[in-house]
Amino acid sequence: MQAAALLLLVAGGCEINVNNPAGFDFTGRGPATVLTDTVSATGADTSWAVDSPLHTGNRLFVGRHLDFEAVALLRFLDLPADAVIDEARLTFYRAAANAAGEDPSGLTLSLLPVTVDWDTTWTGDRLGELTFDPLIDSISIPYTVTVDTFGFDLPAVLVQAWSDDPTAVGTRRGVAVTAPSDAPWLVQLDAGDDHFIYSQRRPRLRIRWHPAAGGSSRIAIVYPEVDLSLVELTGSPAAGELWVARGVPWRTLVTFDLSVLPDGATVNRAVLRLPLLASDQIGLPVVLAAGLPSGPDPWNYSSKDLLETNTVSSGIAVIEGDSTVAILVTRAVAAYLRGTRSQTGLLVLAVGESDGITRLRLGDTTVAAEERARLEVVYAVPPGGAQ
């Protein structure tokens, strides 16, 4: 009987919650409108260089490629005490090479004692301050990748001086590996790190010695206490160019007028698209990031205070052959909308600026429209809001 009554009610057209509003009917508001705008850069864009030592990187660079020139410095401290040095050899492990053409001529590398005090704060702009004692040894290496290791013989008397007087600055200035100013290419050497596999490819000084008090010969393997590349990048962005670089770090600030976005808009997604005019193929891939600068003059800020908290994008890798970089900057654009700025400058920089050498060329607002930076913003406008 009950089942039959229920069936009769349904058949008669009764509907559950027929008078109970829900969704937009319940709130009294219509749906939000989702829009997409593409905003071009305003012309208030700029690039600038900063000093950044390379002593924390896992590569050493020697030679020349495009506008980059590099010299490697090494200093050895952990030498056997009360030792008579019989012979010493310095060995390097090659990681990669970069040249403008295919199969260029051999690269001549020279080993020279450095006669000026230097430390890990040095950058490439101090290359001209280096002074040397006479040449220790030189070697020519081919461009072919089959050559993995090479080395130099050091005078025993030089290493003996390092061992005899470990506290004297004059004997602790180290050695430099250099190439001619017209070097046909640049070689990347493994500097190693704490990981076991890579630490086996660090530069090493192999010493055969015997105790000063007498005794049989012994072998010691000494790794550099300090190693550093001094990299110089000549020139500056040409007309129509912006640079992002590492090794000799360059950063770029691209500005957009976001007044086209209505008040109260919610940013769903924002993508910064950067067409690449060119990329120097050294140490790719390189990872780029972007965010809001901490203040109106970001070139005056230290690296750790450079970007506003919670506006930094995830890193995007640039690989060989890429023509455009797309960086997700939703948090940065949303933070701009919550603020009072009439314009927003998105700061673009390379992640790990001291970990390698790379330069990316971007177009400023004077180049063709398809080569300019642009910002694609997907946003929602509340019901009744201006569109």
pLDDT in tens, the chain (387 residues): 444 443 333 344 455 555 655 444 444 444 556 666 677 677 788 999 998 888 877 889 999 998 999 999 999 988 998 999 999 999 999 988 888 877 899 999 999 999 998 999 999 999 999 999 999 999 999 998 767 899 999 999 999 988 887 666 666 679 999 999 999 999 999 986 655 555 678 999 999 999 998 889 999 999 998 899 999 999 999 999 999 999 999 999 999 888 878 877 889 999 999 999 987 778 778 999 999 998 888 888 888 788 888 899 999 999 988 999 999 999 999 988 887 666 788 999 999 888 888 999 999 999 998 899 999 999 888 764 555
The strand pair at 374-381 and 266-280 is best described as: antiparallel
Contacts of 178 (CB under 8 A, 6+ apart): 62, 71, 109, 110, 112
The strand pair at 33-40 and 374-381 is best described as: antiparallel
CA–CA separation, 218 and 211 (whole Å) = 8
CA–CA separation, 282 and 355 (whole Å) = 12
Q: What is the pLDDT of residue 339?
A: 79
> Which tokens is 282 given?
């050294």
Residue pair 176/152 in contact by the 8 Å Cβ criterion: no
Complete DSSP assignment for 98-146: EESSSS-PPEEEEEEEB-S---TT--GGGGGG--BPSP-EEEEE-SSTT
Residue pair 89/152 in contact by the 8 Å Cβ criterion: yes
Q: What is the pLDDT of residue 197?
A: 57
CA–CA separation, 323 and 325 (whole Å) = 7
Residue pair 228/53 in contact by the 8 Å Cβ criterion: yes
- Helix (H) / strand (E) element for 165: namely none
Q: What is the pTM of this model?
A: 0.81
The total number of residues shown for the chain amounts to 387
